Each structure stands twice: as structure tokens, then as C-alpha cells.
Structure 1
Amino acid sequence: MASFCLPIVATAADVVRIDGAGASFPAPLYQRWFHDYYLAHPEVMVDYQAVGSGAGMNILLEKRLDFAGSDLAMNQRELAETAIPVVQIPMTAGAMVLVYQLEGVDKLRLSREAVVGIFLGTVTHWNDLLIVAANPGVDLPKTPITLVVRADSSGTTFVMTSHLSAIDKTFSERIGATMTPQWPGALKKRGALLRAHGNGGVMALVRSIPGSIGYTQYAYAYNSNISMAMLQNKNGQFVAPNDESFKAAIESFQAEKDPNNLVDPQGADSYPILTLSWLVIRKDLADEAKSKALQEVVRYCLTDGQTISAKLGYIPLSKGMIENILEHTEWFGKTAK
């Protein structure tokens, strides 16, 4: 008689539960990683809530999370001065895109001057000369521009404002690179500024409002029936967000080894706005089983998990970068104390 074995199912008492929250930018990828890991390791359950980088870090520092997701890396001084000991690890790269709702306009080009003008409130209608000049032959309507931004403290917003600050001195002086910008009064005065929570919230508003434009992580627009603008890069070329332009930007970044170049990469074929997204992990977890489980989860995400990144609209980390992280991050392979 044939024999067979039933799969071992972990009981509730056996399951190690790990809690995280933070950036919405990488949330679809993180949730897929953690789900796949659970299918292979049902004794480890990781929960991740997309609440924004700022909120996630605040909850982590209150010791109510095991890790947080953040699109804003801490410098060495900040790491040394945190209320609790943490380690931060880059997990994936992604692109920022401008999604828009403009009937009859499928391939919109936006110059750097036009993008800055939209965010400063000086470019008010879709037939503004700055937009018309970059779109010859396109019938642009006189529709007012409505800008959709994040309502929460957001790493995505930090990336967007970092790019705008890098390409325009006026924006840098008036608003600067920040997670919680004070948007120009001109936008508010004419009712052209709307706020939404999370990348998904920005997408939903842009979908529903004709003439609107907003910024979001590429993964949220990927495989979605929404238009994404071609943006002018540092070399003056208009490039669409796609695998080729992302690869060119990453290669430029890796060649120069300057993280600042991610917000405005060099190269004729480079897409102009990229970012790394990070996990910020507590090193003071008292539960040894949880600490070890979390290390293995993160190791999986950096190795086997990278193979699905591109399918979900993210940019996988390079093999060399992953090897460097695993080899030189002391937290791996050791129980945090």
C-alpha cells in the first residue's frame, strides 16, 4: 500500500509573528515577499502595513514594531543617535513617475521647467507654453491642472522634492527636500491641490479627476491603465519610465557611487528619478526566535526574493550590491542583543 506524508502545519503557538510598517512605496513588493516566505515557512508570519515612512519610523522608535520601511536613509549620526539601536538595509530600488488624467493625450512630455512649474503653481493649465513646446502636434486642452500630493509624512514625497530641489534652485529655496512640504499658497488658493494617503491614494484620485497629475512609485502604475509622463533627464532627453531607462540610470549610479545621483542620474538614456528603499530593523529584540526569523526573512528578500522584483515594477539590486550587504552587515547571522 502506498504511503504518504501530510504537510506539517504550524500551530498558533508555534508561529513567530513579526510586525512592520512604513513606506507605501515598496509595500506591494514587501507584502509579496512576506506572503511567499510564509508559504514556504508557515511558522513565520510577517505583517507589513503601508502607513508612510514617517509614521512607520515613529512607531518603530516607540518600540511598537520590529522593523519599519523607509524611503529615506538615515546618515551615520542619525543612526548613532536613534532612541533604540537599529540597522538599516537597502532592499530594492524603484522609480518615481508622474501619472496624469488627460483625455486624448497618451504620450505627454514634460520638461524640467514644466514639472517645477506645476509643483510651484506657476504652470496652471495644460496648454501652458512650457508644456506645448515639448509636445509639438499634440492637442493640449485648456483644462486647469490639479496637483495630487501625499497627505502623510512620506518618503515618496521626499524623493520627489529631492529631485525638484536638485533641478531647480527656486524650488530648493522655497520648499526643499522634505517628507512634509509646505506647498505653495497659489495652488491652494485656486483649489488646485488635493491630498491623498499613500501611493495608492494618489493613484485613485488621479484616476477619478480629469486634468489631474500626481507622483507615485512606478509599481503602482505598472500594469495599470493610467498614463505616465515622459520626463526630461539631465542630458535634456525625454525618456519614458521602463526597464531600459531604469537600467541606464542604475548603471550611471553604480559607476559614480554617489547616492545623490539617484534623484537626477547622468546619462542620455537614464530615467531621472530613482530611489532606494530601506528596512530599518530593531537590534534590541529580546525574543531570540523572532530575531533569527527576521534575519532569515530579510536574507530571503535579498536573494531569492529579488527574482520577482521586476515583475512587480521594482528594480532588483545588483548581485554585487547584495553580496556586499550580506558580507558587511554585522547584523546577519547573529542574534541581536
Structure 2
Amino acid sequence: MKKTSIMIAGLTAGLLLAASGIAQAQKLTGAGATFPYPIYAKWFSEYSAAHPGVEINYQSIGSGGGIRQVTAGLVDFGATDGPMTDEQIASSKIKLVHIPTVLGAVVPIFNVSGVGDLKFSPDVLADIFLGKITTWNDGRIAKDNPGVNLPSETINVVHRSDGSGTSYIFTDYLSKVSKDWANGPGKGTALNWPKGIGGKGNEGVAGLVRQLPGAIGYVELIYAMQNHISFGAVKNPAGNWVKGSIAGVTEAASSVKQIPADYRVSITNAPGAQAYPISSFTWLLVPVKAQDAAKGKVIKDFLNWMLTAGENEVSALYYAPLPKELVAKEHVTVNNLQ
């Protein structure tokens, strides 16, 4: 009898351990923004390494694709640099919450013969992408760049071909600084570009600009840094020329005195002496109630890890960490997920 009890106890313990192992062994899928992909790839790899059995597969397909997949319930979470619209939220099959992850900068990259540094006034940048300024030695570009030997090279505009949060950030900015842009193409993750050729993802735009003489495009800061592509300074609302940087993005974020309850906020063209004007949050899109309880538990644990250990790593990849007050608010949101 005693021997039987011991065997039953041992079997019970074994089953509990096995169940625990099954609960921990989870494969999560996500899809969306390319803007934060470098830091997401690092985070997902590190978290999986520290949690045996957990695998997070993230497809960097652009914000538009991420929104479509997560709202249709095809992935466990999505990612976007452009917050979902009210219409997208209302039509989603799944109730989602925006979770800010990091802050970043979209920078104008260029490939101009003999030129390594340029300055762009807001109206000039808009008119280049509108196709109104077509050569690099145009008088308006020259006015902002005295002493720079600008060639008569044709400007080749490069934009995103896919639904893109990076495009949303860039066009949100252009819509604020140019009436012609606001009344024309407008802002969005996907729009009808007045001119240019499209590249898929930040990687595609960076690759085309690097290869194409006279090209100009826009990418998240790390893609310019990693590809050793020149990027320009942009005049901010204070009248200062500012290049994309962690400090400039942080100052832009500090201009927001009250973060909305749903975390959807724009910080482009923010005030501040050294605020970088094309800055933004980026978000994970997470179901309020997970379809799979075990996966939901892993997602909550990952998000809390991200907001603590993960945030300490972002600067090394040229992102800005979230403000501490915002992190505290997000922990509450995460812990209320079901």
C-alpha cells in the first residue's frame, strides 16, 4: 500500500511537471512593422533563450500587413508604427490594445554625388516628394545648404511599396508642415505617391537609395546607420537644424504632457529646441483577451520583461527608451490583459 502511494505520488508529480513543460512550450507568431524590427529581433531571441520552449516568430512585413493579420486573428500579435484608425479598430474581429515599445526617428536618406551632408527645410522636403523640386542644384535646396557643391543630378524619389508605418510617420509629418501635401497625398500607411519608385520595407528603401544615383528616401535611423547611408538634418519648429538621434527623439517625446488612455499619439513636428521633428512611438498590437490562455500568459510575461530588461537595450540600436512614467502606466495595462 505504501509502495503504491509512493508510485501514485511520483506519477502525479511527473504529470504536473510535464503539464508545466507543455504550458511553457509555446510558439507565438507576430507580424508587422519593419521600423522596430532590429530591436524586436533582439528581444524575441533573448526572451526565447531565457525561456526554454518559448519561440517567437516575427515576420517583418510592414505595418499595414501586421494590422490586417492581427485584426483577422491570423497571428498572436501585430506591430505598427502608425496607430490603427477608429475605423480599423471598429472593424477588427479581435479587441486590441496598443502597447508602445520604443521611440524612433525617420530620417531622409540620400545618395548625391560628392555630397555627404545636407539640410532640408520642411517645405523643401515636401516639394521634393511632391515632384515640384526635381534636381539637386535647385535654388531652394542650395539656399539651405550654402557652400555645398550641389550637382545638376536628377532627384530620384524612393518610397515604400508596402503598407508602412514608416510611411505613416513620414507623411504625418509632411501633412503638418505642407498644405499641399495635406491636401494632396495626405497621411497614411499606404497612399498614392506623386512620383518615385517603391521599395519593400525599410531594407528595400535603404537598398534602392544606396544603389540609385541622385536618390532620396526615408527610413528608420538604424537602417541608415547600418547601411552607412548619408541622412540629412531637418529644420524643426524652433528653427534649428536637427539630425535624427536618440536625444532628439527623447526631446520630441517629452513634449507630450498627457498620453491618451489608448496610447495613440503623434509626436511629429514637436516643439523643443533640439526636438527631432520626424519622431514617433511604435506599438505592438495585442489582444485584450488571448484566444489561447497559455499564449496569453507568455505574451503578458514577455511584455513585462520588455518594459524592464528590454528597454535597457534600445539605445544600442539607435532607438530611444520609453519615458519612465509611460512604462509604469503600461505595466498596469499589460497586467490587465486576459
- Hey, what does 1:106 align to over in structure 2? 116
Once residues 161 and 216 of structure 1 are traced to their aligned partners in structure 2, the CA distance between those partners, rounded to angstroms, is 12
Closer/same/farther in 2, CA of residues 280 and 118 from structure 1, 3 Å limit: same
Closer/same/farther in 2, CA of residues 256 and 123 from structure 1, 3 Å limit: farther
Higher mean C-alpha displacement, 115-124 vs 72-81: 72-81
**CA deviations over 1:114-151 (Å, ceiling 9, x no partner):** 10110110000000011000111110000000011000
Report how far residue 222 of structure 1 moved.
Answer: 2.4
Contact 1:101 1:210 in 2 (8 A): yes
What SS does the aligned partner of 1:174 have?
A: coil
Aligned-residue Cα RMSD (Å) equals: 2.1
Picking from 157, 161, 168, the partner of 2:178 is 168
AA aligned to 1:247 is T
- Hey, what does 2:37 align to over in structure 1? 27
Is 1:70 the equivalent of 2:80?
Answer: yes
Higher mean C-alpha displacement, 72-81 vs 44-53: 72-81
Once residues 260 and 52 of structure 1 are traced to their aligned partners in structure 2, the CA distance between those partners, rounded to angstroms, is 19
Structure exhibiting the larger radius of gyration computed from Cα positions = 2
What SS does the aligned partner of 1:74 have?
A: coil
Picking from 160, 175, 191, the partner of 1:150 is 160
Higher mean C-alpha displacement, 19-28 vs 282-291: 282-291
Once residues 235 and 274 of structure 2 are traced to their aligned partners in structure 1, the CA distance between those partners, rounded to angstroms, is 10
**CA deviations over 1:207-243 (Å, ceiling 9, x no partner):** 1111101011112112441101011111221111123
Contact 1:113 1:130 in 2 (8 A): no
Picking from 304, 307, 325, the partner of 1:302 is 307
- Hey, what does 2:106 align to over in structure 1? 96
Equivalent residue runs for 1:1-337 within 5 Å: 15-74=25-84, 78-184=88-194, 187=195, 193-251=196-254, 253-255=255-257, 262-327=267-332, 329=333, 331-332=334-335, 336=338
What SS does the aligned partner of 1:309 have?
A: helix
AA aligned to 1:281 is V
Report how far residue 244 of structure 1 moved.
Answer: 2.8
Once residues 51 and 119 of structure 1 are traced to their aligned partners in structure 2, the CA distance between those partners, rounded to angstroms, is 24
Report how far residue 246 of structure 1 moved.
Answer: 2.2
What SS does the aligned partner of 1:98 have?
A: strand
Contact 1:95 1:218 in 2 (8 A): yes
Contact 1:87 1:280 in 2 (8 A): yes
**CA deviations over 1:251-286 (Å, ceiling 9, x no partner):** 2x2347587661111122111111111111123433
Closer/same/farther in 2, CA of residues 256 and 288 from structure 1, 3 Å limit: closer
Once residues 27 and 88 of structure 1 are traced to their aligned partners in structure 2, the CA distance between those partners, rounded to angstroms, is 17
Closer/same/farther in 2, CA of residues 284 and 148 from structure 1, 3 Å limit: same
Q: With the length of structure 2 as denominator, give the TM-score of the two structures.
A: 0.88
What SS does the aligned partner of 1:100 have?
A: strand
Report how far residue 14 of structure 1 moved.
Answer: 6.0
**CA deviations over 1:32-81 (Å, ceiling 9, x no partner):** 10001111112211111110111111111222100000112236675455
Contact 1:245 1:269 in 2 (8 A): yes
- Hey, what does 2:6 align to over in structure 1? none
Report how far residue 247 of structure 1 moved.
Answer: 2.7
- Give me the identity figure in percent: 34
Contact 2:206 2:227 in 1 (8 A): no
- Hey, what does 2:5 align to over in structure 1? none
Once residues 126 and 292 of structure 1 are traced to their aligned partners in structure 2, the CA distance between those partners, rounded to angstroms, is 54
Closer/same/farther in 2, CA of residues 260 and 41 from structure 1, 3 Å limit: closer
- Hey, what does 2:14 align to over in structure 1? none
Report how far residue 250 of structure 1 moved.
Answer: 2.2
Closer/same/farther in 2, CA of residues 116 and 149 from structure 1, 3 Å limit: same
What SS does the aligned partner of 1:262 have?
A: coil
What SS does the aligned partner of 2:202 have?
A: helix
Higher mean C-alpha displacement, 91-100 vs 253-262: 253-262
Once residues 301 and 243 of structure 1 are traced to their aligned partners in structure 2, the CA distance between those partners, rounded to angstroms, is 19
Report how far residue 245 of structure 1 moved.
Answer: 2.1
